[in-house]
Homo-oligomer: A and B are copies of this chain.
Amino acid sequence: MPAKLGIIAGEGELPARVIEACRSSGRDFFVVAIEGHADPKIVAGTPHMWSRFGAADTAFAKLREVAAEEIVLAGAVRRPSLRNLRPDLRTAKFFGRLAMSAMGDDGLLSAVVREFENAGFRVVGADQILESMVTAARLYGKYAPDSAAAADIEIGLDVARALGRLDVGQAVVVQQGVVLGVEAIEGTDALLARCKDLKRDGPGGVLVKLKKPGQERRVDLPTVGPHTVVAAAAAGIRGLALEAGGSLILDPLTVVARADEAGLFVLGLEVPE
């Protein structure tokens, strides 16, 4: 019987997938839903509490009380501004130890992982719970990149790795050799929406999404789902290239169905560390 799982629920669909996985395997869990980030519809009907990002004391106490032993951080949590943080004592001490202003998101999230571990919890990655959704090194669906798309993917890999090394973002859109857009904190949906207006005529671009080199992989793995495929198709994108072993495809069957309908390729690629 696996240990009880504490699910720290941020944005997007990932928390829902983790909850489903617990339910279908009969694993006990408890959800800490982050205010302003987690979707209330997802946590309704689960054992849960709501917590501010800055209220770690209460959340840690509750996770101990319900005897959660493992923790998974599921779904993005945008870093709060210093003014909005209103930290309790644990959170204040935590930020006191960090030079927060000198860290990117990955630096901050790695520190959050250490904080859980120092408090005696084991932190696991969402990919360890959603093993069937980890991107494999293969072509999904029936479309494949042509040579022009392959050239765009090469450029996208270079740019995404350079950005990731600087802890900026995980995604980039390249069309006909031109970098149309680069993701920082706006997220992939906003990147795709803007590329719709930036694309030029002719063969469409590619979305490349990788984890950051050296990224703490237990937090914020790059994730796509059916809605990513729909948004990409609407933006004139011809295909998605994702890091094999380093990203998640939520609901892969629906992703393939949507991609096949829209004529997009979905490619899992080995990326050297």
Contacts and interface: CB of A to CB of B under 8 A. Distances in A.
A184 B179 contact: yes
A258 B255 CA distance: 50
* Number of copies of this chain that the complex holds: 2
Given A166-B158, A194-B186, A201 B84 contact: yes
A198 interface: yes
A83 interface: yes
Given A162-B163, A165-B162, A168-B159, A177 B104 contact: yes
Interface in A164-197: 165-169, 176-186, 190, 194
Categorize the interface residue count of chain A: 35 or more
A185 B176 contact: no
Interface string A44-56: 0000000000000
A190 B81 CA distance: 23
Contacts of A168: 159, 179, 182
Interface of A: 78-84, 100-105, 148, 151-152, 155, 158-159, 162-163, 165-169, 176-186, 190, 194, 198, 200-202
19 contacts: A81-B201, A82-B202, A83-B202, A84-B201, A101-B151, A105-B178, A158-B166, A162-B163, A163-B163, A163-B182, A167-B179, A178-B185, A179-B185, A181-B184, A181-B185, A182-B183, A182-B184, A185-B198, A186-B194
